Amino acid sequence: MNWRACARAHPPGGAIEEMGDAFLLEQRYQQITPEEIEKIFGPRFSTELIKVPLREWQGPIASGYGIHLVKVDDHETSRATALNTVREQVKRDWLDAKRREIKEATLKKLRDRYEVVIDEAAFRATVIAQSDRVQETGQ
């Protein structure tokens, strides 16, 4: 039986959710953003999922995990989040960005103080020696 016939043969909430191969991730996702879907399943899957009509089984839709038969129950438009609910995350993100800026500036100052000179003959000899070692150990 193909997937369309299978989807029509089982009413919503029926055994269709239990069909298919075992899957390492969740069988159902609720209140998940398109960005989260993209992180989990990839950009192509996320783009295709947006096109799926509500409350109808659709597919197959490919992801890095294989092909999927999906049903979208609802779309919810995003809404502005109150600052109080995200204040700590915003603070952490800002501090992380500042730390990265300071680290990069410090590393740049250090790099500017030195001149890197590569001894080509020594570099080649090191690469060849490492290559020989890898071949000897079979790695």
User: In this structure, are 100 and 67 located in the same domain?
Assistant: no
Confidence of residue 17 (pLDDT cuts 50, 70, 90): low
How many CA atoms within 13 Å lie on the side-chain side of 4?
0
Percentage of the chain beyond pLDDT 90 is 24
Name the token pair of 70.
């999906």
pLDDT tens digit sequence for 42-79 = 999 988 888 888 998 888 899 988 888 888 888 777 66
Residue 37 has pLDDT above 80, yes or no: yes
pTM: 0.44
User: In this structure, are 16 and 50 located in the same domain?
Assistant: yes
Confidence of residue 126 (pLDDT cuts 50, 70, 90): very high
| Domain carrying residue 25 | 3-71
- Number of domains the chain is built from: 2
User: In this structure, are 62 and 87 located in the same domain?
Assistant: no
User: In this structure, are 41 and 65 located in the same domain?
Assistant: yes
Which residues partner with 71 through β-bridges?
Answer: 57
Query: CA 67: distance to chain centroid?
Result: 17
Residue with tokens 């979208």: 72
